[in-house]
Each structure stands twice: as structure tokens, then as C-alpha cells.
Structure 1
């Protein structure tokens, strides 16, 4: 049985996967990073939990804009 601390993590990953499967395919590619921002968020939440993973994801999203060079940026 999952602990109560894993419930927010599971819910967030579900939302991210839903975005990846349903919304992302109909949008033009725009992420300047590898892995993509949604994949980065999924990996960050999986590895670090809902709190720290969300913070890392938010920091990444703020950097994803046309004036940033992008490139390879793995989850720490």
C-alpha cells in the first residue's frame, strides 16, 4: 500500500502523463531542452517527490523561453 506521502506524487505524475499523452501531441514542439520540460517534470517528481520535484520543474519552466539557449539539462 502506498503511504500518504506518495499520494501527491502519484497524482502529479498522472497529470503530467495526461498532458504528455493528450495535449502535447497536438501542440507544435517548443521546448528548448532535452529532456522536454514535461519529461523533466515527470522525472523530477518521481525522483525527488512532489515538493522538491515541483520546485525543480518550476525552475526549469521559467528557463524555457526563446532567449535561453536550451540544451541538455538532466534532473539533478
Structure 2
């Protein structure tokens, strides 16, 4: 699955989710293409945000996303995957607490 469809396959569960999906979609379709791929993590930062908000809800999802955006991209902390000519640090969304 590509990042462009990330918001489309995670159905909204609240007004906040719908608003977040709108902003993530605008980011993916308007800003990111002009700015280029910059996220060094896999999944991409916008995909991570969509998954975190969907799986953890608005409060914890926003906290996880903010922490991800502020996290240093130190290669020694994460497993590395290669896609084409780029290397990504693997940092998935944590499983929801039960």
C-alpha cells in the first residue's frame, strides 16, 4: 500500500479523525509532492500519524505522532530497511494498550 492512500483506507471514527484525515490528505497531495520525500522512517511520518490516530484515538494518537516527529533519526536505535536507493529506519506504531 502506498502512503497516498493511507488516509483513504483508515475510516474515520470521529469528527477529529475526519479532520485529521483531511489535513493528512492535504499534506500528502499538496505539500509533500512539492517538498519531496523527507521522512527517514518507515512507515512515513504521515502514514504513522494516520495509523496512530486510527489505532489509538485522538489524544494518544496525537501524542505518538508528535513524539515521532521530534524523535532523532539515529540509525543505531532502529532496524534499517532498504527500498530502491533509499534506506529507512523501521519505527512502527506501537500496538494499542488493552
- TM-score for both structures, normalised by structure 1: 0.80
Cα deviation, residue 28, structure 1: 2.5
Mapping for residues 42-53 of structure 1, pairs under 5 Å = 42-53=50-61
Cα deviation, residue 48, structure 1: 1.2
- Determine whether 1:72 maps to 2:90: yes
Counterpart in the other structure of 2:46: 38
Pick from 18, 25, 28 the counterpart of residue 17 of structure 1. 25
Which stretches in structure 2 are left out of the alignment for 5+ residues? 1-12, 79-88
CA change 1:64–1:11 in 2 (3 A) is: farther
Pick from 15, 18, 23 the counterpart of residue 7 of structure 1. 15
Structure number having the greater helix percentage: 1
Deviation readout 1:21-48 (Å, 9 max, x if unpaired): 1111111222110011111001111111
Which stretches in structure 1 are left out of the alignment for 5+ residues? none
Q: Across the two proteins, how many residue pairs are aligned to each other? A: 70
Q: Distance in 2 between matches of 1:40 and 1:18?
A: 15
